[in-house]
Amino acid sequence: MGYASLELDLAVERGEADARSNNTSEVLRRYPDALKKGPFNYVAIFKIPRDDKDPEFDHLPEIDNFSKAERERRLLTLIRAMRVVGTPYLIPPGTPKELVQIVREGMSKTFRDPEFKKEYRKITGDDVSPITPERQEEIVRSVPRDVETIELFKLINGNQPLPAR
């Protein structure tokens, strides 16, 4: 679209863009009273992970409720998995299990470290909410890999018009 995040907010307010999505922590950081008197109408939530609870937004319908076909549900599963995993730290296949365990333990210790948490919050404005490597692995394994879902994902992420439902 050519808009940065704040510019996109303004574009929606001005009617230059029809809608946008954003994570709840970012919305509340920019607009603390977002749901009471914020500049937007919130119509749905895309919970990532699916069982996430956010008291400010839990009254909104989950976007999955609007799925009309199995292909749409598979697409949402793919997108959610990609977002929940975020940017995983990868090591090559065949790495000895003991080395994998060392990396996992090091990451776990880092995310539990009070100084790291404090610095992370200072820099990002968010609390650290890591997903364990085991949970990431489980999510990646659950990702739909059928051609129809992958092609639909590519289409939606491209710059062409969205397909008709």
What confidence tens digit (pLDDT) does each residue in 132-165 have? 888 888 888 888 999 999 998 888 887 777 777 7
Give the count of alpha carbons within 13 A of 31, CB side only.
18
**162 alpha-carbon distance from chain centroid:** 21
Average of per-residue pLDDT across 37-66: 84
Predicted confidence band at 3 (pLDDT cuts at 50, 70, 90)? low
Query: Residue 96: what pLDDT?
Result: 96
Conformational region of residue 26, where left means phi above 0, alpha means psi within -120 to 50, and beta covers everything else? alpha
Query: Residue 131: what pLDDT?
Result: 81
Q: Measured in Å, how far apart are the chain's first and last C-alpha atoms?
A: 22
φ, ψ of residue 125 in degrees (nearest 5) = 85, 0
Q: For the whole prediction, is pTM greater than 0.75? A: no
> So where are the chain's domains?
67-156
Q: Is the preceding peptide bond at 130 cis, omega within 30 degrees of 0?
A: no
Strand, helix or coil at 18?
coil
Sequence-separated (6 or more) residues with CB below 8 Å from residue 113: none
Average of per-residue pLDDT across 26-37: 78
Question: DSSP letter at 62?
Answer: B
Query: Cβ(139)–Cβ(81) under 8 Å?
Result: yes
Would you call 65 exposed, middle or buried from its count of C-beta atoms within 10 A (0-12, 13-18, 19+)?
Answer: exposed
Higher pLDDT, 25 or 12: 12
**Residue/partner pairs of 64-69 with CB below 8 Å, 24 or more apart:** 68/165, 69/165
Predicted confidence band at 2 (pLDDT cuts at 50, 70, 90)? low
